[in-house]
Amino acid sequence: MRTIICANCEYDLTGLPNDAPCPECASTLREERRTLDQHRRLVVALVVVLTLAFLASIAWLLLVLTIP
Per-residue pLDDT tens digits for 38-54? 778 889 999 999 999 99
The pTM (predicted TM-score) of the whole model is 0.49
> Nearest-CA neighbor of 31 among 1, 10, 6, 2?
6
Listed by start position, the domains of the chain span 4-66
pLDDT on residue 15: 86
Q: What is the phi/psi pair of residue 34, to 5°?
A: -140, 155
